[in-house]
């Protein structure tokens, strides 16, 4: 990154004034790296710690950079494409490729807690398309706890409001009392997390969701292994 800043100081015109500043900085960083001015082997290394960098070795370069811009910098597909000089669709395809390569490394068992049959089916299809296995489909709090007793999932996708009026939040909280695992809440009621009540959502996807975005969040949750833990009220 130092070489990038030196290049910008030497010629401020290198920053595109029409761009978001972060996009301009990463454009210049990638251009500096491509020119050979940066000795490190991979521009993605600048975005990660050593442990994560080692896990990134199994992902191809372009998908890796696209995924990190999306997952760590919070860029949307259009911003990723702009940074890499690609269309929004091409950027989404790179991130999708990264998702597939990540799944090959860390395929896991997934528990889905969702009371709407069509949405549950969609979630299952997305999870299986990424190479993971669905070990349980629960429509209620009780079904979720029963499914957990049969298999400890490596990831949970959970709605908040369930079929019998029970709470997905409470079900997840009880599961997290037994063990810690990444949780993605997929809900039409994100405002219910503003109360300060447990659990603390590391990942939240609002319905209706984009398939590409959900795939990226699943891969992000597993790749960076941000486990959820029950909080004391």
Number of independent structural domains in the chain: 2
The residue segments making up the domain with residue 49 are: 2-104
Q: Are residues 11 and 116 in the same domain?
A: no
48, 73, 104 — which closes off a domain? 104
What is the distance, to the nearest Å, from the Cα of residue 197 to the centroid of all Cα atoms in its chain?
23
Residue 64 lies in a domain: yes
d(CA 127, CA 152) in angstroms, rounded, equals 16
Q: Give the pLDDT mean for 1-21.
A: 54
The residue-averaged pLDDT of 77-96 equals 92
Q: Does residue 27 share a domain with residue 131?
A: no
Q: Is the pLDDT assigned to residue 51 strictly greater than 60?
A: no
Specify whether 159 is located in the same domain as 205: yes
Report which of 189, 184, 188 is spatially closest to residue 215, judged by C-alpha positions: 184
Q: Which residue has the higher pLDDT, 159 or 105?
A: 159
Q: What is the pLDDT of residue 230?
A: 42
- Residue 171 sits in a domain of what CATH number? 3.40.50.2300
Identify the CA nearest to 157 among candidates 109, 189, 197.
Answer: 109
pLDDT higher than threshold 90 for residue 159? yes
- Let me know whether 117 and 211 are in one domain: yes
The pLDDT assigned to 13 comes to 55
Residues 93 and 113 in one domain: no
pLDDT digits 0-9 by tens, 169-208: 889 989 988 888 999 999 888 877 666 665 656 788 999 9
Q: How many residues does the chain have?
A: 233
Region 156-180: mean pLDDT is: 88
The pLDDT value recorded for residue 154 is: 92
């Amino acid at each position: 990154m130092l070489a990038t800043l030196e290049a910008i100081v030497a010629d401020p015109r290198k920053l595109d004034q029409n761009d978001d500043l972060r996009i301009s900085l990463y454009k210049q960083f990638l251009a500096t790296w491509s020119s050979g001015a940066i000795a490190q082997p991979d521009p993605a290394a600048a975005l990660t710690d050593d442990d994560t960098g080692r896990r990134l070795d199994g992902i191809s370069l372009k998908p890796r950079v696209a995924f990190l811009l999306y997952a760590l910098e919070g860029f949307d597909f259009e911003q990723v494409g702009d940074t890499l000089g690609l269309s929004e669709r091409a950027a989404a395809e790179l991130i999708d490729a990264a998702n597939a390569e990540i799944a090959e490394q860390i395929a896991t068992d997934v528990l889905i807690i969702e009371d709407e049959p069509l949405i549950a089916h969609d979630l299952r299809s997305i999870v299986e398309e990424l190479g993971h296995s669905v070990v349980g489909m629960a429509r209620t709090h009780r079904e979720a706890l029963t499914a957990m007793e049969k298999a400890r999932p490596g990831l949970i996708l959970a709605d908040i409001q369930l079929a019998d009026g029970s709470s997905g939040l409470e079900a997840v909280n009880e599961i997290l009392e037994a063990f810690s695992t990444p949780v993605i809440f997929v809900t039409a009621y994100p405002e219910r997390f503003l109360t300060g009540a447990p659990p603390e959502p590391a990942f939240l996807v609002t319905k209706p969701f984009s398939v590409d975005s959900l795939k990226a969040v699943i891969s992000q949750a597993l790749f960076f292994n941000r486990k959820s833990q029950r909080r004391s009220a």
